[in-house]
Structure 1
Amino acid sequence: MSCVSTEPRFATGWTLTLWYLLLMTLVTGGLLLAGDHLLGKRLLEKDRQLVSTLQDNYHRVGQDAGPDKLLHVLHRDREFLQLSHYRLRFDAPDGRPLFVAGNPLPGQTAGLLDDGSWSQTMAIGDHRLHIALEAGPRQQDLARYRLTMLQLMLPMLLFSLLLVAWLTHSTLRPIQALILRVASLQRDGLEQPVPLTASPRSELGQLTLLFNQQMSRIHRLVCGLRHALDSAAHDLRTPLTRQRLSLEQALSSDDATQWRESLLDCAEENQRMEALLGYLLAITAAEQGLDPAHESDCELGEILREMVDLYDMVAEDKGVQLTTDIAGDLRLRGDAQALRQAFANLLDNALKYTPAGGNIRLQAHRQGADIRVRITDSGIGIDPADLPHVFERLYRADSSRQSPGHGLGLTLVKAILDNHSARITVDSDQGGTRIECRFPGS
């Protein structure tokens, strides 16, 4: 089954820009309508005040000087009324118009007229005065407002749309880079990092950094797995070849004793392969993380003393002096059995590479809130060129190839300590090896 690679299509930027355009259009339209409504009410209120003021002035004239004087004043103000867009009618007691200015007014009508004019009516004695202000100037003011707002809002809308398009493109560029990187995994492999197109302090920049870190880790794991498989295949090939040769030699003979020796050889080689596979499975299980069912409060000092008691006889038989300096109250949260296995491997390695007459010292104490465990031996040491690789699977230095083992002990130790958030460091020279494990305080 082949994978067909397709070029990613980026539609989110256009979608966000179009949604923003729609939202801004609705918001802008709403603001324009609200502004138009409020301005219309304000201008209408202004017309009402102007009509009321003019009506009050004429009312005082009519009350103080009489209708005839008011009629004289109206004739005098005719030009002013027409220029100011007033519509006025002064009726006699019998309803006959004595004076008319502007367009005719409907009789006995007050308030907003059909053409938008504001009209008010007032009685002056037996006479009646009708005054209205035409809607033309008010509507012209509204039209100028609408035109001005459109001239301002359209460029602002266009500018904001371009700005949002640019911001959207800049914001989505790291995500697009991630998508392109994921799409190119099959072609380019895992080692190519995603270019950092956003600030490392931003969320997208941190996402890019985390993605690159995870891809680098996956790349290391894949390379380590490939190396482990190659090494495991190489290490398994030797015992399988021995088994085959031993069986072929036994089958070519009728001697039952030789058959028995061949079966014993096969059993021994199977035991070696089983140990190798057991180590690999243990490392894989350790790399999956701590099992909550096995996690508990542990006294690290007691675990270390148990391991020292376990290897004390071995050290004595080999002629190696094993001393300890373990403080009290070294409690931590972890898997006690896994910790036993880790420190057993470290002590086993120290005994394996320390010759007779040498010494091994195990120290454990608190340093601030941390717990520090140090194992020092006077063994053959580790070549500086081999130090960076001591925790790799199936890696064995040239000086250790003559000793039994698979090169997985320190790998398992590293995986167990990583699960306990502990840091392990190795320092070595011709005077021996020093391994330090530091557990963080709770």
Structure 2
Amino acid sequence: MLRSKEVRRFAAVFGVVSLVFVVIAFCIAPLAGLLALAFAAAVGVLFWRFTAARYARLAELAEEIDRLLHEEDRLFVADAEEGELAVLQSQLAKMTLRLREQNDALKREKVYLADSLADIAHQLRTPLTSVNLVFTLLKDEPDPARRRELLREGTALLAQMDWLLTTLLKISRLDAGVIALQCEPVPLAALVDTAAEPLRIPLELHTIALDVQIPPTAAWQVDRLWLAEALRNILKNCMEHTPDGGCVTVKCDDNPLFTALTIHDSGPGFDEAELPHLFDRFYRGKGSGTGYGIGLALAQSIITRQGGTITAKNAPEGGAVFVVQFEK
């Protein structure tokens, strides 16, 4: 305690002042001097015990901080009475809790990143192996027609990898919150038309009808381009699970509370065991074919990032149903 400069200074001043008063008191009367000496001694003892107790409590807090810095699993913070030390202890407890939460979040993000990298490596391994095989065959293939066919296969595989990496980058940017979304009133009919435009030819080739039933007044306050991409992924999923000659229906429920878009296909619907995992990244259901399992994950990221919700279920009459909803 005496290592503290403030304590040494106060003790010196107190000693000098007490000595002066005791001397003056003895000059007045011996009894007054004894009383002054006793009073000075009592005050000195009380000050010493009070200061020692405060420094002992500060030492405990310092020990707790040291345990925190050494990342002990459990940090003990004892109860304290009201006062500056109690306030300091309370702030220390809050800081400890916040640091624990941040540390746990960082650990979860580290595990998530490792899992994501493993998933990406796994997803890229198959097309990379196929590309390597295609170009190995291409090197030794003398037939020009066969060489052109192999080139088309290689180009298609490279396009798949480019789409995969681009989509994963979009999801990562959405998760990181680095994308500035430009929200504006967007008519739903125009939004669905924009989303379906790249799918017109595949829909026509498979004779799948797209029935859009949206009132012209229905609109969402969203980012047009990003929401169009989300709806495109949902429509693409419905198209891929609808048999030739089937239909994909898009309806709108517009009321004072919310505006919801329902997309219903005439396919076989979902397996009940798949429903909880449909929007999980890299999840591929039984009928996913050659998909990567990230289209619906991207759609969910885009929609929830803008304050909306997306759900999936089976229709009673059959087929899959997606519901995208934004509150007003």
Contact 2:264 2:320 in 1 (8 A): yes
* TM-score of the aligned structures, taking structure 1 as reference length: 0.57
Aligned to 2:102: 210
Please, which runs of 5 or more residues in structure 1 have no aligned partner?
1-17, 44-114, 119-132, 181-193
Structure 2 residue 323 is the aligned partner of structure 1 residue 433 = no
**Alignment CA distance shift 1:364-1:399 (3 Å):** same
Contact 2:25 2:36 in 1 (8 A): no
Aligned to 2:303: 417
Aligned to 2:182: 295
Q: Which moved more, 1:357-366 or 1:229-238?
A: 357-366
Contact 2:220 2:326 in 1 (8 A): no
Aligned equivalents of 1:263, 1:440: Cα separation in 2: 52
What are the within-5 Å matches in structure 2 for residues 28-427 of structure 1?
29=11, 32=14, 36=18, 40=21, 116=24, 134=28, 136-170=30-64, 173-177=67-71, 202-248=94-140, 250=141, 253=142, 258-289=143-174, 295-299=182-186, 301=188, 302-308=190-196, 311=199, 314-315=202-203, 318-326=206-214, 328-334=217-223, 336-365=224-253, 371-401=259-289, 404-427=290-313
Shift of 1:237: 0.8
Aligned equivalents of 1:172, 1:437: Cα separation in 2: 51
**Alignment CA distance shift 1:362-1:30 (3 Å):** farther
Aligned to 1:185: none
Aligned equivalents of 2:267, 2:12: Cα separation in 1: 84
Shift of 1:389: 4.3
Shift of 1:148: 0.5
Shift of 1:357: 4.9
Aligned equivalents of 2:327, 2:69: Cα separation in 1: 36
Aligned equivalents of 1:278, 1:236: Cα separation in 2: 14
Aligned equivalents of 1:380, 1:197: Cα separation in 2: 58
**Alignment CA distance shift 1:212-1:283 (3 Å):** same
Aligned equivalents of 1:297, 1:306: Cα separation in 2: 16
Contact 1:287 1:419 in 2 (8 A): no
Fraction of identical pairs, as percent? 17
Aligned equivalents of 2:111, 2:212: Cα separation in 1: 41
Aligned to 1:98: none
Aligned equivalents of 1:285, 1:269: Cα separation in 2: 24
Shift of 1:147: 0.9
Contact 1:342 1:416 in 2 (8 A): yes
**Alignment CA distance shift 1:356-1:276 (3 Å):** same
Shift of 1:330: 2.6
The answer to which structure, 1 or 2, has the higher relative contact order (CA under 8 A, 6+ apart) is 2
Aligned to 1:14: none
Q: Which moved more, 1:278-287 or 1:320-329?
A: 320-329
Aligned equivalents of 1:390, 1:284: Cα separation in 2: 20
Shift of 1:438: 3.8
Aligned to 2:87: none
**Alignment CA distance shift 1:264-1:316 (3 Å):** closer
- Residues paired across the two proteins, number: 309
Shift of 1:373: 3.3
Q: Which amino acid aligns with 1:153?
A: F
Shift of 1:226: 0.9
Q: Which has the larger radius of gyration?
A: 1
Aligned to 1:104: none
**Alignment CA distance shift 1:349-1:259 (3 Å):** same
* TM-score of the aligned structures, taking structure 2 as reference length: 0.74
Aligned equivalents of 2:321, 2:16: Cα separation in 1: 79
Aligned equivalents of 1:287, 1:380: Cα separation in 2: 32
Aligned equivalents of 2:256, 2:102: Cα separation in 1: 31
Aligned to 1:69: none
Residues 312-346 of structure 1, C-alpha deviation per residue, up to 9 Å, x if partnerless? 67546534443334353534243x22222221111
Contact 1:32 1:149 in 2 (8 A): no
**Alignment CA distance shift 1:376-1:25 (3 Å):** farther
Which SS does the other structure have where 2:243 is aligned? Answer: coil
Which SS does the other structure have where 2:238 is aligned? Answer: helix
**Alignment CA distance shift 1:224-1:428 (3 Å):** farther
Shift of 1:355: 1.6
Aligned equivalents of 2:286, 2:59: Cα separation in 1: 61
Q: Which amino acid aligns with 2:193?
A: R
Q: Which amino acid aligns with 1:217?
A: E
Aligned equivalents of 1:24, 1:418: Cα separation in 2: 58
Shift of 1:30: 8.8
Aligned equivalents of 2:5, 2:256: Cα separation in 1: 58
Aligned equivalents of 2:209, 2:75: Cα separation in 1: 55
Q: Which amino acid aligns with 1:238?
A: S
